[in-house]
Amino acid sequence: MVRYTILRLLIFFGVLMTVWLVGIRNNPVLLVGLSAVLSAAIAYALLRGMRDEMTAKLMEKHEAKLQAKQEGRATADAWSADAAAEDAEVEGAGESNGANGAGGTGATGATGEPGTAR
């Protein structure tokens, strides 16, 4: 990717120098604008193979990330199913310990605050 960028910049500066040598020196906006348009057209034609190669590499990376994400999601689904089963076991054990699951030690008093029984 760096190689492609460097080649694009070299093409731009080559075209810029060529346009400057042709005689468009007095108008810097026209000089840079014309150089940008011409260099884009030249790079599109000359660097097609490199651009296609970069696109293929980027697609491979993207597909690998998607596949890893799908595998991670499958692992997370399996983990959450296991966690739900454990939660069900814990809740089942908690119901057998008493009404509030703590053996009745958390009585509230007349004020409604824990531990203030009268």
Q: What is the pLDDT of residue 8?
A: 94
pLDDT tens digits along 2-19: 898 999 999 999 999 999
Residues of the chain falling short of pLDDT 70 = 74-78, 94-118
Q: What is the pLDDT of residue 43?
A: 95
114: left (phi over 0), alpha (psi -120 to 50) or beta: beta
Q: What is the pLDDT of residue 100?
A: 53
Q: What is the pLDDT of residue 80?
A: 72
pTM of the model: 0.53
If we measure between CA atoms, which residue out of 93, 75, 94, 95 comes closest to residue 83? 75
Q: What is the pLDDT of residue 95?
A: 62
**pLDDT, mean over the chain:** 81
